[in-house]
Amino acid sequence: MSTDSRIITASVLPPPRSVTGIGGWIRVNLVNTWFNIGLTTVFGFILVVALWYGLKWVFFDADWRVIGTLGGRIIIGQYNVEAACPGRDCFWRPQAGLLLVMVLLGMAWSVSGGGLTKRIAVLFAGALVACAFLPYGLDKMGLDVRLLFAANVPALALGWAIARHTRLGTVSWIAVLAFCTFILILVLLRGIPGVPYLKPVSVLYWGGLMLNLLLAVVGIGLSLPIGITLALGRSSRLKVVNLLCVTFIETFRGVPLITLLFMSQVLVPLAFPENFPQNSLVRAAIIITLFSSAYMAENIRGGLQSLHPGQGEAARALGLPVWQTTLFISLPQAIRNVIPAIVGQFISLFKDTSLVYIIGMLDVVEMSRAFIQGNPEYLASAKEVFVFLAAVFWVFTFTMSHVSRRVEQHLGVGKR
């Protein structure tokens, strides 16, 4: 065999087994030196002990019946109590909103062709179907609720079919329909005076996970464009615009969110007449959005400053005006570079929605705490409730983080 043939044969040989697979990864990363062997042993022992006692408590010692007793209150709070909705015929409205969301997820699944969107849609539909088994009673209302939960699977299939066989199966149409759907959900939840089956329900009775998600969607949807505007204003050469943006950003960044929420509840109503309609949900949404926008502006400004000045010089050499340079060259690259920081701010915003308890709103955490305090027989099960709530928040935040990583990989963030 010639020297050339031996070189070619060697170049196509697979890597040695000692560096491939799970065993190879362990050998290279965990037990490659005596120091790493010691660290692996110590932390492995701690992990085994933690898993042993943790899983033992989860599967054998914990009493999870309190979660079933809370039931739909975890999802919608007091929305369907007699005081909020006489006749208790309002439970179908949040479920109808979920059906609309499932249709949109089905359309997104069809447009994306599967992958991550498919997994999220299927898992979300499965979780909603599982909610049908929570105790809602055996009366007619309870049966209707279970049917509405089970209908999320056909709604997902309907959205997939609409996007596949109509002209609505584009990203632009899905974005427009998503905005219209959110407005329609708000109208359904609030109600319309004089319209049958749409009795107005005060926002004081909105609660549970539904409240957290509504505030998060409003905050995420508005804080990004407002933050971009503030970042551009802070970078402006116009002194007045720059000063206004700097004042806004530093004011909201320098005050805790809980203080701003308290001020919106106590001080803002003093600026309006007594007969002026007050809405604590709108005030909370505005404060959370503005607070997040201030941090978002700094993230975007950091992305703008990371760009090489030569790109702006090249754009000016080509004769592009400033607004086109910013809109089509600088801003897209800045947003792409700070995607992790943007998603991190979104995650923080979602978790901060639990602070609305300070203005008397029963989000999913406060609703659960109030239920435990009002029912002394469940005081011993407080750990189970808060562990369950931690898992719920983790699922949403991990999903956002996972989507962020996939977007970064698709856009090639960190690569040239």
pLDDT digits (tens, 9 = 90+) for 305-360: 888 888 878 888 888 888 888 888 888 888 888 888 999 999 999 999 999 888 88
**What is the topology classification, in CATH, of domain 239-416?**
MetI-like fold (1.10.3720)
Q: Where in the chain is the domain with CATH 1.10.3720.10?
A: 239-416
Mean pLDDT of the chain: 83
Residue 62's pLDDT is what?
A: 84
Distances (CA, A) of 263 to 211, 215, 271, 359, 366: 20, 18, 12, 9, 20
Residue 370's pLDDT is what?
A: 87
pLDDT in tens, 62-111: 888 888 788 778 888 888 777 777 766 677 888 888 889 999 999 988 88
Spatial contact of 189 and 206, defined as CB atoms under 8 Å apart: yes
CA 199 centroid distance within chain: 29
User: Between residues 369 and 27, which one has the greater pLDDT?
Assistant: 369
Residue 231's pLDDT is what?
A: 93
Q: What percent of the chain has pLDDT over 90?
A: 27
In the predicted model, what is the mean pLDDT of residues 298-305? 90
Weakest mean pLDDT among 136-140, 174-178, 387-391: 136-140
pLDDT band with cut points at 50, 70 and 90 for residue 137: very low
Among 352, 95, 353, 100, smallest CA distance to 207 is for 353
φ/ψ of 201, rounded to 5, equals -120, 120
pTM of the model: 0.85
The answer to whether the Cα torsion of 81, 83, 84, 85 is positive or negative is positive
User: Between residues 407 and 133, which one has the greater pLDDT?
Assistant: 407
